[in-house]
Amino acid sequence: MDVLTDNFSLYAEGFLGTVELTVYSSALALVLGFVMASFRVAPIGSFRVFGTVWVTVLRNTPLTLLFFAVMLGLPRFGLVLPFEAFAVLALGCYTSAFICEALRSGVNTVPRGQGEAARSLGMTFSQTLSAIVLPQAFRTVIPPIGSALIALAKNSAIAGAFSVTELLGTYKTLGELGYDIVWTFVWIAVGYLIITLAISAVFNLMEKRWGVAR
């Protein structure tokens, strides 16, 4: 317990850093995932191509490589942001590809006739998607979206290698202070467990309320 009690402020700072990264990146991932899922099922070919390229590139790019591309590449084009913002951008864009595919799989579970009926009533594609298709699709994909956000919380550990304050990075300071590395990582693991269990609890409640019974 000495590792935790003697360095509680350090652990708390890292824990809050990870929570902030997770919250902001999750918000960005959900927004981008929704947009890309809309592109993937849009009647306009160029939108479908853009959505497909987005998903294919990000799902097949190692997250560490994406961090390097964002942190080192974007400043070369004149975009200079705090490291925390770059980390949110990398995590959010990467996870959005998985959110997109989860939503698209949910869209495929909605009977085609419902979309055709909406169009016969004069509804536009965007109206049909937002009012009829996606609300039903979301109910079927709550668990996979929750899993993607749990993975995001754990992936945020990579940000520590780029001077971003987060939970895993505390081991460097504690190692320099001479604390037992085993107990250092035990408390780090407990912190990640708290975060992932909180996300899981939220999505379990959502599934009980809105999920489709199987």
* The pLDDT of residue 211: 64
Residue 2's pLDDT is 67
Residue stretches of the chain with pLDDT short of 50: none
Mind listing the pLDDT tens digit for each residue in 165-204? 888 888 777 776 677 778 788 888 999 999 999 999 999 9
| Per-residue model confidence (pLDDT) at position 1 | 65
Query: How much is the pLDDT for 54?
Result: 96
Tens of pLDDT, residues 130-150 = 778 878 888 889 999 999 999
CA within 13 Å, CB half, 101? 14
What is the model's pLDDT at position 178?
72
Assigned token pair, 60: 């097949």
- pLDDT (0 to 100) of residue 179: 72
**Closest by alpha carbon to 124, among 42, 48, 30, 33?**
42
What does pTM read for this prediction? Answer: 0.88
- CB neighbourhood size of 27 (10 A): 12
Instruction: Judge whether 18 and 164 are in contact, CB under 8 Å.
Output: no
DSSP string, 24-91: HHHHHHHHHHHHHHHHHT-SSHHHHHHHHHHHHHHHTS-HHHHHHIIIIIGGGGT----HHHHHHHHH
CB contact burial 76-95 (16+ within 10 A = b; e otherwise) = eeeeeeeebebbbbbbbbbb
